[in-house]
Amino acid sequence: MKRSKYSDIKNIFIDTVNNDNFVELETTLFNYHILEESLDKPLKMILLFGKPGTGKSMILNRLFHNLKDKREIHYFEAPILSEKEFLKNIYESISSQSIPPNMRVNFDGLLKYCQKLKGKREIVFLLDECQLYSEALMEKIRLLSDTRVVKFVITLHKTENEDIIAKEHFKTRIWEIVELKNASIEDLEIYIQKKLIKKGFVEVANMISKKDIKFIHTYTKGNFRETNKFLYIIFNIYEYYDIYNPEKISGTTKLSKKILEMTAIKIGYIHD
């Protein structure tokens, strides 16, 4: 089977959390710098807050990779839902010692251990998808933060009721809240262009007009996850034509309106 360049192009938009995939937009860099500067403040907890697909995991991943050689920082990219496993991972990260599988970390003992380190060390933990943690485990995270030895940067999805944010005993420990929002039309254009150009597909980037960006933004609302899905399907369709019916797209210098509409229909934004 013929190898299509669109196979590589569509893979640029696979939604993965990878430091190499971080796109520097003015808004994301602004939020990133707020987050990084917050780590130098006497804060117990820092909250990175926003709807799914606004780039919380990407910023957290970027923070870890930029700071891992400069300070004590640990990144839990996937939630550890078992309290036993979570406390085990916290202890092992702080102590650099392994716990045998049949042993359990005593929480009171962990608190005392952290308290003894006060003034000697400051350890940062980056916790993603914290809306999946139980309230009991979140309470232990709060108590650990009270030692002022362990600092947490946590991400939470913005929901309609936002119950966990509303609880007063949680608010008192969070002194910095960084809220991420969907991209504007201008930022979305830069995001798409940079992703393509970074991988060397300048001609393809030039195919996408401002009108095309507005069309995509109308349906994705500037959500990065939805935009990635949209672009993946666009170039998946181009890949199909390139392999089986190349005359349909040969010599094209702009994105096909028909393929844009086909993509919107396939995702379910438009009903045929």
Of 180, 200, 223, which marks where a domain is finished?
Answer: 180
**In a shared domain, residues 171 and 151:** yes
Q: Is the model more confident about 175 or about 202?
A: 202
Write down the pLDDT at residue 8: 95
How far does CA 103 lie from the centroid of its chain? 33
155, 111: one domain: yes
Q: Which residue has the higher pLDDT, 194 or 164?
A: 194
Q: Is 110 exposed, middle or buried (0-12, 13-18, 19+ CB in 10 A)?
A: buried
Residue 204 lies in a domain: yes
Query: Both 73 and 9 in a single domain?
Result: no
Structural domain including 31 reads 26-180
Range 38-67 average pLDDT: 92
If asked whether residues 169 and 188 sit together in one domain, one would say no
Under the phi-then-psi rule, with left for phi > 0, alpha for psi from -120 to 50, and beta for the rest, what region is 22?
Answer: beta
Q: Strands 73-76 and 45-50, how do they pair?
A: unpaired
What is the per-residue pLDDT for 251?
77
Residues 43 and 100 in one domain: yes
Whether residues 129 and 144 fall in one domain: yes
Q: For 94-137, what is each residue's pLDDT tens digit? A: 999 998 888 899 999 999 999 999 999 999 999 999 989 988 99
Tell me which H or E stretch contains 89.
helix 83-95
Does 47 lie in the same domain as 159? yes
Looking at residue 168, what is its pLDDT? 54
In this prediction, residues 245-259 reach a mean pLDDT of: 88
Decide if 6 contacts 235 (C-beta within 8 A): yes
**Residue 237 shares a structural domain with residue 156:** no
- Contact call for residues 203 and 82 (beta carbons, < 8 A): no
Q: Are 174 and 147 in contact (CB under 8 A)?
A: no
User: Is residue 162 a part of any domain in this protein?
Assistant: yes
Q: How many domains does the chain have?
A: 2
Residue 227 lies in a domain: yes
Q: Tell me, what CATH number does 129's domain have?
A: 3.40.50.300
State which H helix or E strand residue 178 sits in: strand 174-180
Q: Give yes or no: residues 204 and 96 share one domain.
A: no
H or E element that contains 46:
strand 45-50
pLDDT at res. 271? 74
Looking at 147, 180, 213, which one is the last position of a domain?
180
DSSP secondary-structure letter at 44? S
Burial readout 129-149 (b: 16 or more C-beta within 10 A, e: otherwise): bbbebeeebbebbbbbbebbb
Specify whether 176 is located in the same domain as 196: no
Check whether residue 173 and residue 80 sit in a common domain.
yes
Tokens describing residue 191: 């995001």
